[in-house]
Amino acid sequence: MIFPDANMLAINDKRFVPFIAAEAIQTRIQELADQINQEYADRKPLIVVVLNGAFIFAADLMKNLTIPCEVTFIRVASYTATESTGQLRQILGLSETITGRDLIVIEDIVDTGLTICEVCDQLRSQQPASIAIATLLFKPTALKKSIDLHYVGFEIENRFVLGYGLDYDGIGRNTKDIMVLEE
Ligand code: XMP
Ligand code: MG
């Protein structure tokens, strides 16, 4: 990971340039938190953070929540079932009972929407009282599933982004700005 200057990040042969500035991210997160504080004023939601990408967004969002809430962390593992053709995704790490709870699922980015749809389907099978999705980023033109996103930080074009929790090949999560792959 090389930062030749503040305006460029090079990882292997890829170059990333600033896309959404840290200040804009924080301002938007405060707005989302205000909305959640209002809409969950009389509930105690369980925040379900999808690791790894959402960890920084979730932390900053939670710091701006003023309602009582709990937090838990899940991972989504992709694997190919032995006799099945498609890729299935399995939720790892959920030890809480979610039946009857109001869940807010926190994602870094919704791209095709396949991941978040499967996560919600699996969570729904345990009969929570409600599920809302909060995603920092959303690529509407990449979406392949119809899905109701309750809290969206930024709608972006269909380009590869990294930083602020998102990675390229495991690298680049630790930038305050969101960067985009240079075309
Ligand atoms: P889907 O297509 O299932 O994708 O909505 C969800 C997961 O894919 C990863 N993803 C990205 N990661 N920059 C990234 O660093 C991107 O532009 C990007 N698009 C998708 C991400 O892990 C997300 O949870
Ligand atoms: Mg992710």
Note residues around ion ligand 2 (Cβ under 5 angstroms): 53, 108
Q: Is 111 a catalytic residue?
A: yes
Helices 55-63 & 22-39 angle (0-180, nearest 10) = 60
pTM, two decimal places: 0.92
Q: What is the CA(76)–ligand 2 centre distance, in A? A: 8
Least confident of 22-36, 69-83, 124-138: 69-83
The single residue of 13, 34, 60, 111 carrying the catalytic annotation is 111
Structural domains in the chain plus CATH codes: 44-77+86-172 (3.40.50.2020)
Contacts of 110 by beta carbon, 8 Å cutoff, 6+ apart: 116, 133, 135, 137, 138, 139, 143, 147, 149
pLDDT in tens, 95-135: 899 999 999 999 999 999 999 999 999 999 999 999 999 99
End-to-end CA distance of the chain: 19
Of 88, 137, 152, 79, which Cα lies nearest the Cα of 114? 88
Nearest CA to ligand 1 atom 11: 109
| pLDDT number for residue 81 | 47
Is the predicted ipTM greater than 0.90, yes or no?
A: yes
Residue 95 alpha carbon to ligand 1 centre in Å: 25
Region for 7 from its dihedrals, namely left if φ exceeds 0, alpha if ψ lies in -120 to 50, beta otherwise: alpha
